[in-house]
């Protein structure tokens, strides 16, 4: 497999009239890294991917693959593999014909093509299906063919534009792991676009969250989820409820009650929001709140979801929060609707973000 390349995105801007699809953004992607561009519809993630592919030319800024400036290089000379959302397979060709096509364009010989087609089929677990027609394949098989075609000529960079969005939930989750394992085996620099937060958390070395043409937070999946920088990140990635808190003199307060935190963000002061993840809250028995932040309320609704139940709780101050209770014999019993409930939150799970950070 060819050596992977780092990618450098420097002050890239792309406007359509007054609308900034990309607004002076920069990002350094390491050689062999799997990075996901994550954001809501219209955030700029696909525009950036098309800039990397060469299908869109930025108004300003620079894109470098390794030490080469490719900002003006046409797509077919960038040596990148591309996997599209709609597969973009040739319907009149067999599976093997689709895989052979990029090799023929590069002048490969027949024996080399046959060998690499078989090897690519093995990589994506489609052994023996080379002669099958595209319209005879399932959605998951078509996606594997599209992936195999993108990597068969051993590109140094792989770009993927929401490639799993057309698959059903079970197959999509299976393919997420398969793509991740394939990346680990091949090691090519991969830029993956999705609007699915769980998919990004599952697959990525790092996640670059983008909104309104600008990066909001870039980091490892665990850091993005466990330590969001803003309300936007906390709302967009995972489920969250928010409670107003005040930071003064290096401590946080809910009303007049001090809040136990693992750390107060440096320089924090004034109005903030406590981020409450449903799975971080726990039901407390009477007198069991030692060392935890305590929230008292009343159960308003219980939604059974198989492996867990989702409880909606009205707190004493009127705010509503959600708590996810796993369906295990060791978990406390779920109170009935209308019953009082006491919730606990460990200081290590007590995260605050600026109150003015909402989009």
Specify the pLDDT at position 219.
97
Least confident range of 66-75, 186-195, 243-252: 243-252
* Domains of the chain, first to last: 7-226 (3.40.50.300), 234-357 (2.40.50.100)
Relative to beta strand 68-69, strand 60-65 is antiparallel
Q: Which region holds residue 28: left if phi is over 0, alpha if psi is between -120 and 50, else beta?
A: beta
Residue 62 to residues 55, 57, 68, 197, Cα–Cα distance (Å): 15, 10, 10, 28
pLDDT at 2 over 60: no
pLDDT of 287 above 90 = no
pLDDT class of 359 with cuts at 50, 70, 90: very low
Q: What digits encode the pLDDT tens for the residues 202-215?
A: 999 999 999 999 99
Looking at residue 137, its pLDDT comes to 87
What confidence score (pLDDT) does residue 332 get? 76
Which of 117-126, 276-285, 323-332 is the most confident on average? Answer: 276-285
Residue 233 pairs in a beta bridge with none
* Angle, vertex CA 69, rays to CA 64 and CA 75, nearest 5: 85
What confidence category does residue 352 fall into, taking pLDDT thresholds of 50, 70 and 90?
Answer: very high
| Rounded-to-10 torsion of CA 156, 157, 160, 164 | 40
pLDDT band at 288 (very low <50, low <70, confident <90, very high): low
Q: Which of 46, 279, 318, 332 is nearest to 161 (CA)?
A: 46
Residue 319 has pLDDT above 50, yes or no: yes
pLDDT digit string (tens) for 27-70?
999 999 999 999 999 999 999 999 999 999 999 999 999 999 99
What does DSSP assign to residue 236?
Answer: H
How many angstroms separate the CA atoms of 27 and 6, rounded?
Answer: 11
The residue-averaged pLDDT of 268-293 equals 86
pLDDT in tens, 128-167: 888 899 888 888 888 888 888 898 888 999 999 998 887 8
Residue 239 per-residue DSSP state: -
Cα–Cα–Cα angle for 1, 38, 86, nearest 5°?
A: 65
* Band of pLDDT at residue 5, cut at 50, 70 and 90: very high
Sheet of 293-304, strands arranged across: 282-283, 340-345, 293-304, 308-315, 320-326
Question: Looking at the predicted structure, is the pLDDT value of residue 230 above 50?
Answer: yes
**pLDDT tier at 358 (50, 70, 90 boundaries)?**
very low
């Amino acid at each position: 497999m060819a050596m992977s390349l780092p990618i450098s995105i420097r002050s890239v801007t792309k406007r359509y009239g007054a609308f900034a699809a990309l607004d002076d953004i920069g990002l350094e992607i390491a050689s062999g890294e799997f990075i996901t561009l994550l954001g809501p519809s219209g955030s700029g993630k696909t525009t950036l991917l098309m800039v990397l592919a060469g299908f869109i030319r930025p108004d300003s800024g620079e894109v470098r693959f390794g030490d080469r400036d490719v900002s003006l290089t046409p797509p077919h000379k960038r040596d990148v593999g591309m996997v599209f959302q709609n597969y973009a397979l040739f319907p009149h060709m067999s599976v093997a014909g689709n895989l052979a096509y990029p090799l023929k364009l590069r002048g490969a010989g027949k024996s080399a093509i046959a060998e690499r087609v078989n090897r690519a089929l093995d990589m994506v677990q489609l052994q023996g299906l080379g002669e099958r027609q595209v319209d005879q394949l399932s959605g998951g098989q078509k996606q594997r063919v599209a992936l195999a075609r993108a990597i068969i000529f051993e590109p140094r960079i792989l770009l993927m534009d929401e490639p799993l969005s057309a698959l059903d939930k079970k197959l999509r989750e299976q393919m997420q792991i398969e793509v991740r394992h394939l990346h680990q085996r091949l090691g090519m620099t991969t830029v993956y676009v999705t609007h699915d937060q769980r998919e990004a958390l599952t697959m990525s070395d790092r996640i670059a969250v983008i909104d309104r043409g600008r990066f909001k937070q870039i980091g490892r999946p665990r850091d993005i989820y466990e330590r969001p920088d803003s309300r936007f990140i906390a709302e967009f990635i995972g489920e969250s409820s928010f409670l107003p808190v005040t930071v003064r003199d290096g401590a946080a307060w809910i009303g007049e009650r001090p809040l136990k935190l693992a750390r107060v963000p440096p320089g924090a002061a004034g109005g903030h929001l406590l981020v409450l993840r449903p799975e971080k809250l726990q039901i407390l028995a009477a007198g069991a709140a030692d060392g935890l932040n305590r929230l008292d309320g009343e159960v308003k609704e219980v939604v059974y979801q198989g492996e867990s139940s989702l409880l909606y709780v009205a707190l004493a101050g009127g705010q509503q929060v959600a708590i996810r209770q796993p369906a295990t014999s060791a978990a406390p019993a779920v109170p009935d609707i209308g019953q009082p409930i006491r919730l606990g939150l460990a200081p290590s799970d007590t995260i605050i973000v600026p109150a003015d950070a909402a989009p």
